């Protein structure tokens, strides 16, 4: 018996490794009565019948085969009559607890990475099991990803021995946090988290003082954004190459932008009171709003061949057919309501916000009178409204008279509403054209947000986000966010 007496680790970490806590070993022949050898004895003479016998070895942390089992081995060997038979076995460590770590638990979000996994088993006395022999039961590896992002995979599903290796593969996709779990028979599992770190980059917009405003994912995989001050539509590729295209109508004041079901980009021209469309190659089309001077704010593709938009300056909800037919619409019941955000719900009805009316509007079809529902908080200045991930509630945020953020929710459709932020602690709201919030649902590997302030003229992006995000104007740049969805740029 080779006991693990104090010795250099190079000696201990051999196939003959025995737990430092081992005080006795038992040997059972053909499931008979165990025979025990106590530390520091080295030889045990056994009686075994001639033929092939099954020998079971177990080490314990107490003398006389008592206490916790630290190692185990079973071997069948032929016994020859009249000869000295030596039975050799390499003990497998019996795991009583697990530990697992990642070589890099915080890789850069948006960048693929191969991350080494270190999983180890400890015996009942807390000693790390080492050596080239197998564990008595393998360590199983698995991934826990609450968001089911599909961004992680394992190179191996188990580690059979302390010498086993495994790698966690991260493909660079949208991931907030997930865990790698180690488990084995009869032992509590252990886990370690992977949380990609947001990383920020900046790129210049070709046109200075362009006023980048709203942004969307285009059908070509690029991000497209409006430049309100410059009267242009900008494009940024995944590689960070930025171009912009001048809208035919000068000083048109482009606002909201979406990717249409016809493969074109659709946008509002607030100052020109037009609805614009352009191909990804830069061919424009412009359509007058249903009502003169309507000042369109935001828009949504209903998916039935129509683009719906808010008449921010004229208090209307209107429709622009994708085929280029004349627009039509209805008036909002509340005078000077300033309708702004707009979306469809699961019932395909239209929901919109009224910034100055402090209402949520509901419109099943044109030709009917919109239904208005007052918000719970007065003077909350609702802005953008989107279809929420819960798909069961309307959630809205507002500012009360003390400029505190407050939240409320009630069953109403399938939307989330973000109200306007206050510019100062005294809660002085920005002028109508400056009360903006941008919300973009993650559609690909990157979520981009666009916000601006005079004098910065930069494009910025960082890590992945997996949820909707509200933004106000702060710096003239385009932002991409990879990573934690609990952060919010303001």
Please give the Cα distance from 407 to 421 (Å, whole number). 13
Partners of 284 in beta bridges: 278
Mean of the pLDDT values across residues 31-56?
A: 88
Query: What integer pLDDT is reported at residue 17 of this predicted model?
Result: 57
Cβ atoms within 10 Å of 10's Cβ, excluding its own: 7
Please give the Cα distance from 183 to 73 (Å, whole number). 21
Cβ atoms 277, 245 nearer than 8 A: no
Query: What integer pLDDT is reported at residue 345 of this predicted model?
Result: 83
Query: What integer pLDDT is reported at residue 191 of this predicted model?
Result: 97
Q: How would DSSP label each residue in 284-315?
A: EEEEE-SSTT--EEEEEE-SSSEEEEEETTTT
Cβ atoms within 10 Å of 386's Cβ, excluding its own: 22
Q: Which helix (H) or strand (E) holds 371?
A: strand 371-374
Residue 474 has pLDDT above 50, yes or no: no
- Residue 220: C-alpha distances to residues 245, 318, 438, 443 (Å): 16, 28, 21, 12
Q: Which helix (H) or strand (E) holds 11?
A: helix 9-12
User: Taking Cα atoms as reference points, which of 2, 215, 203, 192 lies closest to residue 104?
Assistant: 192
Q: What share of the chain is helix, strand, coil (3-state, %, to 5)?
A: 0, 45, 55
pTM over 0.85: no
Please give the Cα distance from 321 to 301 (Å, whole number). 10
Mean of the pLDDT values across residues 116-127?
A: 94
List phi, psi (to 5°) of 9.
-60, -30
Tell me which DSSP letter residue 124 carries: T
Q: Which pair of structure tokens corresponds to residue 45?
A: 């003479």
Tell me which DSSP letter residue 108 carries: B
User: Taking Cα atoms as reference points, which of 183, 178, 129, 122 lies closest to residue 158?
Assistant: 183
Please give the Cα distance from 357 to 339 (Å, whole number). 8
Residue 490 has pLDDT above 60, yes or no: no
Q: 3-class SS at 10?
A: helix
Classify residue 426 as exposed, middle or buried by CB count within 10 Å of its CB (0-12, 13-18, 19+): exposed
Which residue in the block uniquely carries the two structure tokens 């044109």? 366
Mean of the pLDDT values across residues 317-321?
A: 96
Mean of the pLDDT values across residues 169-179?
A: 92
Cβ atoms within 10 Å of 434's Cβ, excluding its own: 11
Residue 453 has pLDDT above 60, yes or no: no
Query: What integer pLDDT is reported at residue 419 of this predicted model?
Result: 36
Residue 232 has pLDDT above 80, yes or no: yes
Q: Which pair of structure tokens corresponds to residue 406?
A: 């407050």
pLDDT digits (tens, 9 = 90+) for 68-109: 999 999 999 999 988 888 888 888 999 999 999 999 999 998
Classify residue 427 as exposed, middle or buried by CB count within 10 Å of its CB (0-12, 13-18, 19+): middle
Query: What integer pLDDT is reported at residue 118 of this predicted model?
Result: 96
Please give the Cα distance from 371 to 92 (Å, whole number). 72
Cβ atoms 256, 297 nearer than 8 A: yes
For residue 242, what are the contacts with CB-CB under 8 A and spacing of at least 6? 203, 204, 205, 206, 234, 235, 236, 459, 478
Tell me which DSSP letter residue 166 carries: E
Handedness of CA 401, 406, 409, 412 (dihedral sign): positive
Residue 10 has pLDDT above 60, yes or no: no
Please give the Cα distance from 232 to 209 (Å, whole number). 12
Residue 270 has pLDDT above 80, yes or no: yes
Please give the Cα distance from 488 to 465 (Å, whole number). 10
pLDDT digits (tens, 9 = 90+) for 335-389: 999 999 999 887 788 999 999 999 999 987 656 789 999 988 888 888 888 876 6
Residue 47 has pLDDT above 90, yes or no: no
Mean of the pLDDT values across residues 50-65?
A: 94
User: Taking Cα atoms as reference points, which of 446, 451, 437, 443 lies closest to residue 483?
Assistant: 446
User: Which domains does the chain show, CATH number per domain?
Assistant: 9-93 (no CATH), 97-194 (2.60.40.10), 200-481 (2.130.10.10)
Percent of the chain with pLDDT strictly greater than 70: 75
> From start to end of 133-273, where are the E strands?
139-144, 152-154, 158-159, 166-170, 178-184, 187-194, 200-204, 212-217, 223-227, 232-236, 242-246, 254-259, 265-269
């Amino acid at each position: 018996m080779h006991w693990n007496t104090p010795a250099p680790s190079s000696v201990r970490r051999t196939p003959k490794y025995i737990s430092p806590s081992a005080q006795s070993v038992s040997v059972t022949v053909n499931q008979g009565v165990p025979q025990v050898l106590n530390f520091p004895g080295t030889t045990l003479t056994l009686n075994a019948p001639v033929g092939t016998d099954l020998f079971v070895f177990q080490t314990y942390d107490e003398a006389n085969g008592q206490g916790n089992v630290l190692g185990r081995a079973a071997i069948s060997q032929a016994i020859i009559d009249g000869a000295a038979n030596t039975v050799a076995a390499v003990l497998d460590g019996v795991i009583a607890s697990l530990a697992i770590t990642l070589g890099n638990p915080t890789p850069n979000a948006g960048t693929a990475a191969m991350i080494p996994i270190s999983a180890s088993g400890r015996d009942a006395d807390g000693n790390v099991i080492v050596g080239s022999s197998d564990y008595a039961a393998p360590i199983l590896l698995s991934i826990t990803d609450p968001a089911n992002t599909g961004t992680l995979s394992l190179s191996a599903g188990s580690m059979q021995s302390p010498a086993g290796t495994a790698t966690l593969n991260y493909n660079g996709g949208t991931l907030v946090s997930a865990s790698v779990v180690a488990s084995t028979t009869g032992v509590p599992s252990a886990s370690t988290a992977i949380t990609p770190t947001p990383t920020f980059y900046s790129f210049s917009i070709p046109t200075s003082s362009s006023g980048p405003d709203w942004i969307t994912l285009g059908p070509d995989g690029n991000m497209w954004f409006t430049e309100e001050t410059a009267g242009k539509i900008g494009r940024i590729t995944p590689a960070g190459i930025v171009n912009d295209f001048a809208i035919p109508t000068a000083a048109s004041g482009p606002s909201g932008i979406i990717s249409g079901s016809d493969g074109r980009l659709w946008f509002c021209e607030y100052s020109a009171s037009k609805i614009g469309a352009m191909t990804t190659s830069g061919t424009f089309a412009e359509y007058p709003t249903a009502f003169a001077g309507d000042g369109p704010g935001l828009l949504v593709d209903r998916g039935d061949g129509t683009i719906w938009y808010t008449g921010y300056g004229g208090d209307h909800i209107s429709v622009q057919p994708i085929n280029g037919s004349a627009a039509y619409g209805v008036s909002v019941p509340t005078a000077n309501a300033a309708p702004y955000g707009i979306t469809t719900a699961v019932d395909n009805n239209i929901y919109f916000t009224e910034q100055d009316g402090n209402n949520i509007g509901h419109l099943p079809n044109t030709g009917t009178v919109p239904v208005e529902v007052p918000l719970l908080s007065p003077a909350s200045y609702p802005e953008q409204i989107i279809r929420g991930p819960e798909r069961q509630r309307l959630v809205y945020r507002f500012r009360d008279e003390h400029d505190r953020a407050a939240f409320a929710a009630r069953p109403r459709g399938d939307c989330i509403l973000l109200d306007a932020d206050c510019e100062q602690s005294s809660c002085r709201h920005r002028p109508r054209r400056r009360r903006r919030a941008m919300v973009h649902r993650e559609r690909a590997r990157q979520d981009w947000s666009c916000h601006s302030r005079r004098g910065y003229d930069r494009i910025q992006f960082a890590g992945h986000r997996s949820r909707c995000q509200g933004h106000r104007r702060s710096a003239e740049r385009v932002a991409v966010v990879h990573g934690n969805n609990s952060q919010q740029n303001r």
